[in-house]
Amino acid sequence: TVDNSTLNLQSNIAGWKGDLLGTLPIISESTALLASINKGTKLAKASTAVDFLGAIGVALATVSLATSVNTSLTAVIAAKHKFDKLKLSPVILVDLDLQKKATTDMSNASAAQVPADLKDLAATLVEPIFAAFDKAIDVFNPF
């Protein structure tokens, strides 16, 4: 799941000592996360609209994911000096942009399946995810 992939990435970054070889598990998990997000988008697009109870399930999953994303992106920000030392911060910035775009696509696909009267709530629930991405992107953006 996206949540598990996010937590795996966070764990690899948090345990990383700052060496070049140690970036391999980070790259692998980042790639797995992007694939998981894209898979989630495909599943959301292929699913039928959910009823109120289904929307509650989506909401709970979104809240859990928001926590995981915040934790993961906080770890990415904390490791910026290590990425800087290896001259990898531009790569991380591109990766963050790709993940944010993929997350936007997944969010839109999921929101399309919730009842109309819950769409505003769905948008509100994903705001912390995008705020965390924006913060991380700002930290890595040299401009």
Query: Residue 125: pLDDT above 90?
Result: yes
Q: Note the pLDDT of residue 1.
A: 86
In the chain, % of residues over pLDDT 90? 97
Token pair for residue 18? 């700052």
Q: Note the pLDDT of residue 83.
A: 98
Mean pLDDT of 81-109: 97
* Structural domain span for residue 14: 2-140
Q: b/e per residue, 119-134, with b = 16+ CB within 10 A?
A: eeebeebbebbbebbe
Per-residue pLDDT of 37-73, as tens digits, reads: 999 999 999 999 999 999 999 999 999 999 999 999 9
* Tally of structural domains, the chain: 1
